Amino acid sequence: MPQLDSGGGGAGGGDDLGAPDELLAFQDEGEEQDDKSRDNAAGPERDLAELKSSLVNESEGAAGGAGVPGSGAGARGEAEVGAEALGREHTSQRLFPDKLPEPLEDGLKAPECASGMYKDTVYSAFNLLMHYPPPSGAGQHPQPQPPLHNKASQPAHGVPQLSPLYEHFSSPHPTSAPADINQKQVHRTLQTPDLSGFYSLTSGSMGQLPHTVSWPSPPLYPLSPSCGYRQHFPAPTAAPGAPYPRFSHPSLMLGSGVPGHPAAIPHPAIVPPSGKQELQPYDRSLKTQAESKAEKEAKKPTIKKPLNAFMLYMKEMRAKVIAECTLKESAAINQILGRRWHALSREEQAKYYELARKERQLHMQLYPGWSARDNYGKKKRRSREKHQESNTGETCPVSSSGGSSPGHCMAAPLSPKGGGADTQPRNFRAWALWKQGLHLRSQKPTGGTAMLSPWEGSITAVAYGPPAPGLPHLPHLS
């Protein structure tokens, strides 16, 4: 299992990462950022930054202002409290210099957002996360954690919840599980030796597995009460040798090869159709047997899509942004995260791409017949009418404002329903980029092939595109 260096050294070779096309994509991105740096004072990027800045500031003003009335310093104090709290847990991981790519973040003018923005970013996390495969983990015994009773597979407010792989890779040898796990035991057989440490599932039973797993996760960052966030858990008691208690997932613990342990837990991708926690087996027994088959069918758990790289990144960083920026609105937070994502170096992004690739690989192994199409229509989206309206793409804010940056189009105001976002359709961004001869990164070449097996060696290259049809990234897994 490779130990992905978080620095520029081992995994480094960032220039070695990615297929040529991918490098091109990154190059374009970097050039764009460079342009931003060079042209910091003017230009469409600046417009974008200012626009976003105003948006973010508005949001922060709403969120932070309530907690710390009229005091930017106070807000900053909160952020510092959060940063301090972070530091307590990540003191040894603060490898990332305080140097900020300010041009990239100039849109975030709020000092509480700008300060410490990059202090605990991907590096700190991946120092601990990217440890493949799980080490023997002797002596690492994460503390049992109280079960949550909120939505299944969802963390408490502000608590980052990691994907199974994400957590697994950093929870090497869990030994205990919440008390309510016993009611949710699902026996599954090993499917592949490589995944034995992750989930043991029979492929045929995937779709029927109930997903009642609460996802106990202590807060990564002991938020100060002054931040206005409830603390659902006591601050994690970092046991010696247990670097990241929050990454210890009980379900993974159960399935992680603990001798004689009877159970494994479904992949968190399996959720009830409602997205809410399914009935416990005990409760289910109260159901009459006359429950219609159709009803049971309707209650079939939904297998969620595996998280992509950005989603994984968001999951990890959301709490930090919330803590630093005292933001709550996910839309605003996601904008910040999107900017941060673009500000990440190739190496940093590569780690998430690699993690996402493993997620997909695992997901593929667990649910062989699953297709993303299966979930189509389960989440009701905007009306077709809006889509059609948006497809016209004739309301391009670029053309109207003279902006030339794709990001300019992306900087649709955070408006209420029917506002700018609706006048700026999703595909508009693709249109705007295409119009400028650019390409979305999501449309980069397919057929990517991993040059790295996660189970071996260090990263020499990573293909970010989807695997070629029928060509798994990890040949020995399929």
Complex with DNA: residue 148 or 173, whichever CB lies closer: 148
Footprint (CB under 7 A) of DNA, residues 274-313: 274, 302, 304-305, 307-311
The distance of closest approach from Cβ of residue 333 to DNA in the complex, given in angstroms and rounded to an integer, is 7
Distances from the Cα of 73 to the Cα of 69, 87, 458, angstroms:
10, 20, 44
Among residues 329, 395, 401, 453, the one that binds DNA under rule CB under 7 A: 329
Distance CA 66, CA 19 (A): 48
- Using the contact rule CB under 7 A, the part of the chain among 118-126, 130-138, 397-405, 406-414 near DNA is 406-414
Complex with DNA: residue 13 or 61, whichever CB lies closer: 61
Q: What is the dihedral of CA 279, 282, 287, 290, to 10 degrees?
A: 110
Q: Which tokens is 169 given?
A: 């890779």
Among residues 91, 377, 400, 470, the one that binds DNA under rule CB under 7 A: 377
Complex with DNA: residue 94 or 346, whichever CB lies closer: 346
Which class for 103: exposed (0-12), middle (13-18), buried (19 or more C-beta within 10 A)? buried
Q: How many CB atoms lie within 10 A of CB 109?
A: 16
Complex with DNA: residue 239 or 331, whichever CB lies closer: 331
* By the rule CB under 7 A, 380 interacts with DNA: yes
The distance of closest approach from Cβ of residue 241 to DNA in the complex, given in angstroms and rounded to an integer, is 27
Q: Which residues contact 417 (CB under 8 A, 6 or more apart)?
A: none
Complex with DNA: residue 18 or 245, whichever CB lies closer: 18
The distance of closest approach from Cβ of residue 145 to DNA in the complex, given in angstroms and rounded to an integer, is 16
Footprint (CB under 7 A) of DNA, residues 230-269: 269
Distance CA 426, CA 414 (A): 14
Complex with DNA: residue 261 or 315, whichever CB lies closer: 315
Footprint (CB under 7 A) of DNA, residues 346-375: 349, 353, 356-357, 360, 371-373, 375
The distance of closest approach from Cβ of residue 471 to DNA in the complex, given in angstroms and rounded to an integer, is 11
Complex with DNA: residue 140 or 365, whichever CB lies closer: 365
**Residue 271, SS3?**
strand
Among residues 177, 227, 411, 450, the one that binds DNA under rule CB under 7 A: 411
Name the maximum alpha-carbon separation found in the chain.
70
* By the rule CB under 7 A, 27 interacts with DNA: no
Footprint (CB under 7 A) of DNA, residues 141-170: 153-161
Return the residue matching tokens 């997909």: 360
Footprint (CB under 7 A) of DNA, residues 49-88: 62
* By the rule CB under 7 A, 99 interacts with DNA: no
| Residues that contact DNA, how many (by CB under 7 A) | 89
- Using the contact rule CB under 7 A, the part of the chain among 198-206, 231-239, 282-290, 322-330 near DNA is 322-330
Q: Which residues contact 192 (CB under 8 A, 6 or more apart)?
A: 365, 477
- Using the contact rule CB under 7 A, the part of the chain among 127-135, 240-248, 428-436, 453-461 near DNA is 428-436
Q: Which residues contact 452 (CB under 8 A, 6 or more apart)?
A: 2, 354, 458, 459, 460, 461, 462
Q: Comparing C-alpha atoms, which of 255, 256, 264 is closest to residue 185?
A: 264
Distance CA 301, CA 213 (A): 12
* By the rule CB under 7 A, 439 interacts with DNA: yes
* By the rule CB under 7 A, 23 interacts with DNA: no
Distance CA 431, CA 155 (A): 36
- Using the contact rule CB under 7 A, the part of the chain among 191-199, 203-211, 286-294, 415-423 near DNA is 415-423
The distance of closest approach from Cβ of residue 460 to DNA in the complex, given in angstroms and rounded to an integer, is 18
Among residues 290, 297, 417, 470, the one that binds DNA under rule CB under 7 A: 417
* By the rule CB under 7 A, 415 interacts with DNA: yes
* By the rule CB under 7 A, 384 interacts with DNA: yes
* By the rule CB under 7 A, 96 interacts with DNA: no
Q: What is the 3-state secondary structure (H, E, C) of 399-446?
A: HHHCCCCHHHHHCCCCCCCCCHHHHCCHHHHHHHHHHCCCCCHHHCCC
Q: Which residues contact 78 (CB under 8 A, 6 or more apart)?
A: 64, 67, 68, 112, 224, 226, 227, 326
